[in-house]
Structure 1
Amino acid sequence: MREARTPSVPPATATAPRRRSEPGARTTDRQQPAGPVPHPAALAALQRTAGNAAVTRWVQRQEDTGAREEARRHAIDPTGHGEWGTFRDDMARAGFDDDVTDAAWQLILGGLAEQGQLNDEAMAAHVKRQDQRDHRASNTWYQDLVKLIGAYLKIKTPTLALWSGGRQMSDYALAKGHTPLESTAFGGVVDKLTLTEDWSLKTPMWNVLSKAFVNHAGGAVHIFLRGYDPDSVLIAQEIPQLRVVMALNPAVRLVWHPVYTAADGRPMEITKRLELTTDAHYATRDECVQVLYDYLRLEHDPANDHSRRAHAEMNARLAANGNAP
């Protein structure tokens, strides 16, 4: 998948992409039979990197009427997706091999096409939230994606970072010298993409990536918490996976940071005295959440729009647990 199809090619005809790995080569576009057909170079790359099973699923996808139509169309014609060029160029800048780029893109789009059916099955077959999440995360395209790019989720700093409570927490963690998933080689590329407006199709991909990401922990893992939700990916999935890692590697430990966004928009951390500072960390989740909730209950300024959502979610959670406002 080196280029999008040429505008002059009739819509019913697919184009064999030109390989970027052949500098200066000039390749004449070859006409393929009408209808959705494989991109030869793309499928060859998929076979080399993800195996025959992925190629078989790709072929089966051609006639799968259960897939969401837009996702299915992009899985069949990957270079027709509007963000292919951005993905290709960003992967090149990040140093990825052409074959990895081709296969990763096909696996992402195949996963999006697969996910709708898995979401429907999860809701029909499971009552418990975690069972539903596990079924949605069983997407074989996303699993193959992790096998392909897992090494590119390694952190660039001594410490790995996790977060909950809004995307600003990822930027905050990075600024403090830690590496969140979005700042890894592959995570940084995918983080810039929209892929689809349907979050239910792409969220499981991020869940699968995040679970693989925490496996790279080798020391302190810094967790930045602006909001607490026991059903969040952080609490329900990433932390349990980290416990597995910790059992195998005693050097891995969790460092919790309660974060409150001040009226000027700056994230600040909360001390036990309920004061805002640049660094306040705790050894346990319970200590962190208690300090965070105490500050939101007792010190939150109702005029502070930056933390209004965290305050409202905290009140809603306490109310759901039988606590008075």
Structure 2
Amino acid sequence: MGNAAVTRYVQRVQGQGDPGVREEARRHAADPTTHGEWDTFRDMMDKVGFPQEVTDAAWQLILGGIAEQGQLNDEALAMFTERQKQRDHRASNSWYQELVRLVGDYLEIDRPTMALWSGGIDTSVYARSKGHTPLESTPFGSVVNELQLTMDWMLKTPMWNVLSKAFVTRARGPVHIFLRAYNPDSVLIAQEVPQLRVVMALNPAVELVWHPVYTTADGQLMEVTKDLELASDATYRTRDLCVRALYDYLRLKHDQANSRSERANAEMGARLASNGNQP
């Protein structure tokens, strides 16, 4: 991987005596090829067309970022109480920022329209089946999505946040947003959509197309129409209209025996209750 990169890693995380997973992350960052997924990463990167030098550098940056992320997470909790400020500090990981600069061109979509989603990875798969490209289906995203990397997901989640921000800046046309659950504090609503608003101000071709998604008892994902029926496609031009359709369907038509949408229904009910609405 290069002695300079290893030396840089040792200098930056020296003295962080975190046990367990963080200690393992430091060992892997200092000697990247000892990580159990190195061979898989290298082979997958080669298969999607990455040059070997990019693969080597990206792997060092991923593992260096994971090793440093623990300290940033601790700092975020100690320094900030506001959720978004905590998220921003976690995402300030310079290893992940350098990773984006390295692989940014490999976040371009291979289909006409970009997709964003919230509500579980099944929603990403559904968006892909509709002909759109979520981050996980880009050349680089598809590789990283197949790897565990670390047992502590809080060490790698900020990497996805950094990648997603870079991903949405590459929007060139309509962006389809699939909602199976609505959370104003989610990365989608708090980070990705605001970033898209900036892109939209510069490029009128970029517009947001919203899809409220409901999972039926047999596991099929369907979209909620304005008449609160389930269809293969139902689009809305604004977030509020989309969220209203989703909430109304869950409130009025959700089958309590449908465990596949139980979480979305519970989250909707809790959010309405927190806003002073009756059950």
Give the TM-score range, shorter chain. Answer: over 0.9
Tell me the SS of whatever aligns to 1:216: coil
- Among 46, 51, 57, which residue is 2:8 paired with? 57
Aligned position for 1:183? 137
Assess, with a 3 A threshold, how the Cα gap between structure 1 residues 184 and 127 changes in structure 2: closer, same or farther. Answer: same
| 1:132 lines up with 2:86 in the alignment | yes
Name the counterpart of 1:98: 52
Contact 1:137–1:207 (CA under 8 A) maintained in structure 2: yes
2: CA distance, partners of 1:64 / 1:154: 38
> Match for 1:65: what amino acid?
Q
Partner of 1:34: none
| Alpha-carbon distance between aligned partners in 2 of 1:156 and 1:55, rounded to the nearest angstrom | 34
Counterpart code for 1:246? M
1:155 maps to which residue?
Answer: 109
Kept in 2, the 8 Å contact 1:214–1:238? The answer is yes
| Counterpart AA for 1:301 | D
Are 2:68 and 1:117 equivalent residues in the alignment? no
- Contact 1:137 / 1:208 at 8 angstroms: preserved in 2? yes
1:321 to 272, 275, 279: 275
1:267 to 205, 221, 242: 221
Identity of aligned residues (%): 72
- Secondary structure of 1:162's counterpart equals strand
Q: Which residue does the alignment assign to 1:277?
A: 231
1-side partners of 2:181 and 2:13: how far apart?
42
Superposition deviation, residue 57 in structure 1? 3.0
Greater Rg over alpha carbons, structure: 1
Separation in 1 of the partners of 2:182 and 2:38? 36
RMSD: 1.2
The alpha-carbon deviation at position 77 of structure 1 amounts to 1.2
The letter of the residue matching 2:217 is A
What's 2:2 paired with?
Answer: 43
Deviations 1:90-141 (A, max 9, x none): 0010110000000000000000001000000001011110000000000000
Which protein has greater RCO, CA pairs closer than 8 Å, 6+ apart? 2
Q: How many residues align?
A: 276
Question: Does residue 199 of the first structure (1) align with residue 153 of the second (2)?
Answer: yes
Task: Output one character per residue of 1:21-66: Cα deviation in whole Å (capped at 9) or x when no partner.
Answer: xxxxxxxxxxxxxxxxxxxxx127xx7xxxxxx6663241463424
State the distance in 1 between where 2:131 and 2:82 align: 37
Q: What is the CA–CA distance in structure 2 between the aligned matches of 1:56 and 1:237, rounded to whole Å?
A: 34
1:237 corresponds to 2:191: yes
Residue-by-residue CA offset, 1:242-274 (whole Å, 9 max, x unaligned): 011111111100000000001111100000100
CA distance in 2, matches of 1:233, 1:122: 16
Counterpart for residue 33 of structure 1: none
- Secondary structure at 1:323's aligned position in 2? coil
Distance 1:153 1:269 in 2: 27
